[in-house]
Amino acid sequence: MSIKGLACGIVAVVFLLALSGCKKKESVPTQSVQAVGPSAAEVAKIRDRLTRGMRPADVSNLSKTQVGKRCVVAARSSPIPPPPPPLGMVHIMGPTTLYVAELNDVSPEALKIRAAYPTSGNYKHIEIARVDIESIHLSD
């Protein structure tokens, strides 16, 4: 009798669980998710803090003579290819990303920047399209 009672109890629990999990979900209209981040004033404040002692430069006037200079680039956010960048190189703030690095290469379509990993001696290279760049500041 106890085995039959245990079996009936298990069947009853499974039946109740099946009934409670099989309800039709209400259809809720989906809303588009917007990138949340700091305001433009907060981004400008952080950029100004990072660019202290640097001078603004015009993206169209950059040349190979500036290669090797420390820079801060404000650009439209885009995915960063692996491996992950070293700490402090990339500051993603919603639709804007700030890159703190060294100017590595200048081409008509893009800028290439690099930052060293602290322990390995290797560099992380990131290419930023000129059309995505909002501002750039260079050290002297």
Can you tell me the distance from the alpha carbon of 63 to that of 1, in angstroms, rounded to the nearest whole number?
Answer: 90
The tokens describing 114, both together, are 């690099």
Domain presence at residue 11: no
Q: How many residues does the chain have?
A: 140
Please give the residue range of the domain that contains residue 83. 40-138
pLDDT given for residue 1 in this prediction = 57
pLDDT given for residue 127 in this prediction = 92
User: Is the model's pLDDT at 41 over the cut of 90?
Assistant: no
User: Is the model's pLDDT at 34 over the cut of 60?
Assistant: no
Amino acid letter at 52?
R
Can you tell me the distance from the alpha carbon of 109 to that of 29, in angstroms, rounded to the nearest whole number?
Answer: 41
Residue with tokens 């995505």: 132
Domain presence at residue 8: no
Domain presence at residue 125: yes
Looking at the structure of the chain, the number of domains it has is: 1
Can you tell me the distance from the alpha carbon of 42 to that of 62, in angstroms, rounded to the nearest whole number?
Answer: 27
Domain presence at residue 13: no
What is the model's pTM? Answer: 0.70
Can you tell me the distance from the alpha carbon of 98 to that of 82, in angstroms, rounded to the nearest whole number?
Answer: 18
Domain presence at residue 91: yes
Domain presence at residue 89: yes
